[in-house]
Amino acid sequence: MAKKPTAPAAPSAATSSGAVSPETVLREPAEKRYADQLEALRQNDTETPPTNWKLSPRSVLTYVIGGKTLKATIGGKSVEVPITRKFFGDDGVVERSIVTLASERALLLVGEPGTGKSWLSEHLAAAICGTSLLTIQGTAGTTEEHIKYSWNIARVIAEGPTAQNMIASPAMIAMKGGALLRFEELTRCVPDVQDALVSILSDKAVAVPELPGDAMVFAKPGFNIIATANTRDQGVNELSAALKRRFNYVYIPIVGDQKTEVKIVQQRSAELLERYNLPAKLSPPVIELLATVFREIRNGKTSDGVSIKKPSTTLSTAEAIGVALDAALHARFFGGGEVGPADIARNMVGAVVKEDQEDKVALKEYATVVAKKRGAKDKSWKEFHDALVEQL
Ligand SMILES: Nc1ncnc2c1ncn2[C@@H]1O[C@H](COP(=O)(O)OP(=O)(O)O)[C@@H](O)[C@H]1O
Ligand SMILES: [Mg+2]
């Protein structure tokens, strides 16, 4: 196990295209990170995009689900740009989302935490209107001003309310530009605040009574809202009937099959490790083991049909990516660099056992009932079992 750690790789000088360099920004927005792919899709678009959309609906779909390689001229050079898959799962979900965004209604992505709702929303916004940054994060402290507008108080005192002294919210900026507003965790906002959206969605305008002459800000074509909500928070602040009617609900399920989950964890952890300037050494068998453990504990049933305890936390794909990344960092800093089943086990406990210590029991049961038995025949499972038991 104790191999000599190799020195971390020197930071690569190469930067992906776009104005923001990965060396100065920890996380680039999708429209910067995938600027080449978006540009290639634009150059190859054969259909007319809806008003103020950057791409046609078909190209937006291709951007999200990937699977094509396009010829394009980027930076004066003729290149082939592979379009990668961003969102894994049912392509019908993506199609319905795109159709909704072109319609009168707004889009609400609902599902368990960590199923990729924010991820999908970011990519849709990036592909459709070129920016994913017009975002409101819904919290218990979100106020109507965050949704509509506020004022530069000092200047209002000095000069009175004028259009220049108004601070537009991301929603208002999106309306003026015919862009998409992302509203994260909509159901965390109190009902009064949610209701501020009703007028925006039905009138497609915001009145500013403080300004002289009954000023109104009207939305341009292309304006729409992509909201997300966690099913676990549903009880917090249910959407009012008025608002429900103005949203199309698209349910995002937890990834159903193991193969897809392995692919997501593989691709996303490789991308994230690149961000940390660490060469990815997550081998497919290790990711498969991680995905198997997650799937079995999440379902409360092993692949051989044995019932096991389920923990209270949702073990989403996002959690699996987190464990893979932690395990890789752990192996890199304190091990030999190669991620083994033991690294997965060590970083697994924190993902499963959160606020409820009872969940430890579920993990213990999994170790003794499932992992130990498999360990008798398989070296990887033995390593996993031994390291897991040590942590519990
Ligand atoms: N179906 C999926 N396809 C691609 N990535 C996914 C998927 N599900 C989860 N992820 C990954 O999990 C991470 C967290 O997802 P996020 O969008 O924040 O979840 P949510 O908003 O549903 O709570 C993202 O980095 C994303 O890459
Ligand atoms: Mg989210």
The CATH number of the structural domain formed by 89-251 is 3.40.50.300
Name the residue with the closest Cα to ligand 1, atom 17: 116
Return the percent helix, strand and coil in the chain, to nearest 5. 50, 15, 40
| pLDDT of 200 higher than 70 | yes
Average pLDDT of the segment spanning 81-108: 96
Q: Is residue 9 very low, low, confident or very high in pLDDT (cuts 50, 70, 90)? A: very low
Pocket test for ligand 1, best of 115, 187, 250, 265 (most atoms within 8 A of CB): 115
Banded pLDDT at 312 (limits 50, 70, 90): confident
Question: Considering every ligand atom, which ligand is closest to the CA of 317?
Answer: 1
Residue 5: pLDDT band (50, 70, 90) is very low
Condensed to tens digits (0 to 9), the pLDDT of residues 100-143 reads 999 999 999 999 999 999 999 999 999 999 999 999 999 999 99
- pLDDT: which is higher, 233 or 17: 233
Residue 207 has pLDDT above 70, yes or no: yes
Give the torsion sign (CA, 273, 291, 30, 72). Answer: positive
pLDDT tens, position by position, 166-198 = 999 999 999 999 999 999 999 999 988 888 999
pLDDT at 1 over 50: no
Ligand index nearest the alpha carbon of residue 138: 2
CB 279 within 8 A of CB 273: yes
- Give pLDDT tens digits for 226-266: 999 998 766 567 888 889 999 999 999 998 789 999 999 99
Q: What distance in angstroms lies between residue 113's CA and the mean position of ligand 2's atoms?
A: 7
Which 3-state string (H, E, C) describes 282-308?
CCHHHHHHHHHHHHHHHHCECCCCCEC
Q: Would you say the CB of residue 64 lies under 6 angstroms from ligand 1?
A: no
Average the pLDDT over 44-69 and give the result: 97
Confidence of residue 280 (pLDDT cuts 50, 70, 90): low
For residue 171, the tally of other CB atoms under 10 A from its CB is 25
Q: What pLDDT score was predicted for residue 8?
A: 43
**How many angstroms separate the alpha carbon of residue 119 from the centre of ligand 2?**
7
